[in-house]
Structure 1
């Protein structure tokens, strides 16, 4: 279904019943990445899957400023209002995890719990943010000038996704189709508007979060394991989980284990059996 939020047409899908869990995908992804959770979580929780701005079937504004983190956070708040809810659980992967954490730090009274997969609070110092903005600007130019196919050829071969080459051929092809379905303008706008260098740093906000947070990473993703370890030391109610033989996208590489970890965490928070 299409829902207009603050002037942007968002594509969302809803399934299941119970307390609501918002599902936020990563860069170059779509809500389709979460379809496997329908069977694992759908009989206990209401799942709201969202194509984030510039991805899937959601609109791609021309102005990169509309993709900014605070704009995306306000869109999520508008969606929760539209659903008539006060609080939700949020599960976010990578870029979607940064958005989930940004929303949690901005609107903590609207969050029941948080599941962050391979996510970060951003970059702590301005020099690092400046360097990352320059990198993302170059990558956005590459996407626009070279086209989506050349970009996907590059993107699926970066070191961060090396472990995905061990997935079954059918799953790799499905992931590639999902990436190829993205638009050049949507991905470029997303990089420029809510890339890691453009978003605020949430590191200093972690100490104030009082709800439970599950931090999930794959053992092969050493960078994000370090980030999650650092986050865990600052959060009041952190549940730190490392999944062996998995990289950045645990939910793709270890689907069953991911489902079990997410389900247990949510059941423990709600008391639902």
Structure 2
């Protein structure tokens, strides 16, 4: 667990979450972040504050993980509730202007919030390594499996077939995959801490025990048929070696009116940690330039 920090509590459906505003005195438009997971705390997104020094950056732990309350009620682990949670936080913040940045699973929450509309609408919607179709995600993961060294691919496919994720073969193979497609640089403490503190109950209910196969209640999720309804300026960012490949991000962007894309060279699923300067340059070029 990373070092405890101060913050504030916000009442949301099912309990209370803890949030914090980093760079609170910065003059730019605030950036509200939505972390991935499910069940992984926000800590790995905290470095965004250093990359965006001119902007307040709002971080929070979703209910069930990190420093937010952790109710033992599996009925709470539904996407609709997480979207309502974001809506409650934005109502609490009551920001006159803001950008909304989601990462990985957090892009589902951010996209759904933007699609549903409401009184608090983002100026820019930034989707980093977006997972907007679970079927597409699983297809892309299978393609990556085919390209792995044979022993690595075998360790992963054996685990998927047997449901055994505690074997040395699977652990070794998952590490090889993570070093290629999750984070290609040395993992910072913020990422290690967040990964180790993932709430298994939330993850398993919504996603499943492995990145490579979705068995939870998100297994049929897609919003691709509704992307044309997004009205916010939208930027989709992917790493060159992301397990959400650039071609997937570009396909999503083609379905969104006026959406822009950027591929972070040399990075994978954590581009803000792997190539921070390039990530910040691509992001700031949009959100600091105003509307297109």
Q: Same fold (TM over 0.5)?
A: yes
Report what 1:178 is aligned to: 194
Secondary structure at 1:182 match in 2: coil
User: Does the Cα contact within 8 Å between 2:183 and 2:274 map onto a contact in 1?
Assistant: no
- Identify the residue that residue 32 of structure 1 maps to in structure 2: 43
- 1:197 — aligned with what? 219
| Matching residue of 2:17 | 10
1:246 to 267, 275, 289: 267
Structure 2 unmatched ranges of 5 or more: 1-6, 140-159, 209-214
1:122 has 2:133 as partner:
yes
Structure 1 pair 161/205, CA: closer, same or farther in 2 (3 Å)?
A: farther
Give me the whole-angstrom Cα distance separating, in 2, the residues matched to 1:73 and 1:5.
10
In structure 2, distance between residues paired with 1:221 and 1:42: 26
* Distance of 2:183 and 2:229 partners within structure 1: 39
Written as runs of structure 1 = structure 2, the 5 A alignment for 1:77-156 is 77-85=87-95, 88-107=98-117, 110-123=121-134
What stretches of structure 1 of length at least 5 have no aligned partner? 129-137
Q: How does 1:15-94 map to 2 (within 5 A)?
A: 15=22, 16=24, 17=26, 18-27=28-37, 29-43=40-54, 45-85=55-95, 88-94=98-104
8 A contact 1:60–1:186 mirrored in 2:
no
Change over 3 Å in CA distance of 1:80–1:177 after alignment to 2: closer
Preserved contact between residue 207 and residue 219 of structure 2 (Cα < 8 Å): no
Equivalent pairs, count: 250
CA distance in 1, matches of 2:77, 2:97: 24
Q: Distance in 2 between matches of 1:65 and 1:215?
A: 31
- The change in CA–CA distance for 1:74 and 1:161 in structure 2 (over 3 A counts) is farther
Larger Rg: 2
**TM-score, normalised with respect to structure 2:** 0.73
Higher helix share: 1
Kept in 2, the 8 Å contact 1:60–1:185? The answer is: no
> In structure 1, what is the Cα distance between the partners aligned to 2:53 and 2:173?
32
The C-alpha deviation readout for 1:177-199, integer Å capped at 9, x for no partner, is 32112333243344369864154
From the superposition, tell whether residues 73 and 223 of structure 1 become closer, same or farther in structure 2 (CA, over 3 Å).
closer
